Amino acid sequence: MRISLKRTASLLLSAVIGVSVIFSGCSDTGAEEGSTYSKHESSSVSSSSQSSREDSSKTESSKSESSKSESSQDNISVDPDYTPAMWRVTKGDKEMYLFGSIHATDDSAKNLPPYVQNAFDECNYLALEIDTADVTEDFAKAYSLIQKMIYTDGTTIKDHISEETYNAAVKYLTDKGMYMSYYDSFKVLMWISLLENSIAQDAGIDTNNSMEAIMTEKANKVGKKILEVESVDIQLAVFDKISDKLADFMIKSYTVDGAAEEMKRSLTELYNSWKKGEAVSDSDDTEGLPDDLKDDYELYNEALTTNRNVGMADKAEEYMKDGKKVFFMVGAAHMYGESGIVSLLEKRGYTVERVQPESTASQVQSRAAA
């Protein structure tokens, strides 16, 4: 069995990052059943205080323009093989950058290559799928997110997948110290998130080191405003398109013999391809998928990528028309293909050019000064 790109939902949906962070401190082996909210609330108070300090620093009237444009790059060496994909979009005198991100990285991703850092420094705004920091650092918003992920019709996950699949998933998560019976009330999103993030961590990548977290920190450091391309509701609605039969197949695919190791290798390959700026291919998305699930999968896939790509392109165009200089960062999978953002903007009359790694600071600065 082979993992496909679009089954790696936590690498495509920023909302899942919020879920992972919220629960990362409350699913250790031996965690008490009733500790979920108290542990998160404690961490949220600290995080919210930090967020408030950052918000205050961003709104200080004394902050100069020079400090706003100061590079947010840390003083550590850049991996020469770190060349993620980025595009420059222009139309008339309007300009923005598209950056294909990934929602889980390792420590080497923090220090951006010069061509990416320079473009980020040149922009006045950072646009993200959703502002995950805003969700995870505010207990009320985090609680609201959690409530939207719970079955409200009196059912539990046991009513939506087979007993065999449920037992296999519980055993897998229990062995990883990541299961609590409280999770039975959660929809399939939570189960996929827990399973995928366990495998991602085994592969040495982590949603706590997401590009969203990295770039949000850089934006806060220099007072760059953060824009949201989507909403949590849009992202969570994707999982309402997963039929029970498809959910059963997806969850089971993580627990069959050898699946975890194969998925670990696939995630490592996906991450390394992203770091090298290689096109994200989804040609094998239905490999191993039973014929009777292909229609269900097509509906899910349409909600996960195709429809969201149109909305993302609409938002990018809106920013361009408003004259906002934006570093527009969404999952790399949304950039490629005929239905990807790059193609959609080109069809709307925008010039979209891939920015090459050899682009220098002087090239970027010369455009800014022109």
Arithmetic mean of pLDDT, 262-291: 80
pLDDT at 5 exceeding the cut of 80: no
Compute the Cα dihedral for 180, 181, 185, 187 and give only its sign.
Answer: positive
- The CA distance from 150 to 276, in Å, is 38
pLDDT band at 20 (very low <50, low <70, confident <90, very high): low
- The CA distance from 78 to 75, in Å, is 9
Arithmetic mean of pLDDT, 307-326: 96
Number of other residues whose CB lies within 10 A of the CB of residue 107: 11
The single-letter DSSP state of residue 105 is B
Sheet of 351-354, strands arranged across: 225-228, 125-128, 326-331, 94-101, 86-91, 351-354
pLDDT at 352: 98
Supply the DSSP string of 115-180, one letter for each residue: HHHHHHHH-SEEEESS-HHHHHT-HHHHHHHHHHTB--SS--GGGTS-HHHHHHHHHHHHHTT---
User: What does pTM read for this prediction?
Assistant: 0.80
Query: Measured between alpha carbons, how far is residue 325 from residues 120, 176, 229, 366 in Å?
Result: 10, 44, 14, 16
- The CA distance from 51 to 306, in Å, is 34
- The CA distance from 149 to 135, in Å, is 14
- The CA distance from 49 to 42, in Å, is 11
pLDDT band at 70 (very low <50, low <70, confident <90, very high): low
pLDDT at 367 exceeding the cut of 80: no
Q: What percent of the chain has pLDDT over 90?
A: 44
Two tokens at 343?
């193609």
- The CA distance from 117 to 112, in Å, is 6
Ranges 63-77, 119-133, 137-151, 349-363, most confident:
119-133
pLDDT band at 202 (very low <50, low <70, confident <90, very high): confident
Q: Where are the domains of the chain?
A: 5-54+81-280+290-369
Q: Which of 269 and 280 is assigned the larger pLDDT?
A: 269
Q: Are 266 and 280 in contact (CB under 8 A)?
A: no
Residue type, position 78, single letter: V
Residue 97, SS3? Answer: strand
- The CA distance from 289 to 26, in Å, is 34
Q: How many residues does the chain have?
A: 370
Q: Which of 276 and 24 is assigned the larger pLDDT?
A: 276
With CA atoms as reference, report the closest residue to 116 among 67, 93, 89, 83. Answer: 83
pLDDT band at 329 (very low <50, low <70, confident <90, very high): very high
Supply the DSSP string of 301-344, one letter for each residue: HIIIIIHHHHHHHHHHHHHHHTT--EEEEEEGGGTSSTTSHHHH
pLDDT at 190 exceeding the cut of 80: yes
pLDDT-wise least confident of 153-157, 223-227, 361-365: 361-365
Arithmetic mean of pLDDT, 25-47: 37
Task: Give the tens place of pLDDT for each residue, 108-147.
Answer: 899 999 999 999 999 999 999 988 777 777 778 777 778 8
Two tokens at 301?
């896939």
Compute the Cα dihedral for 104, 107, 111, 115 and give only its sign.
Answer: negative
With CA atoms as reference, report the closest residue to 316 among 303, 325, 307. Answer: 325
- The CA distance from 41 to 47, in Å, is 10
pLDDT at 15: 54
With CA atoms as reference, report the closest residue to 118 among 316, 351, 369, 365. Answer: 365
Arithmetic mean of pLDDT, 333-353: 95
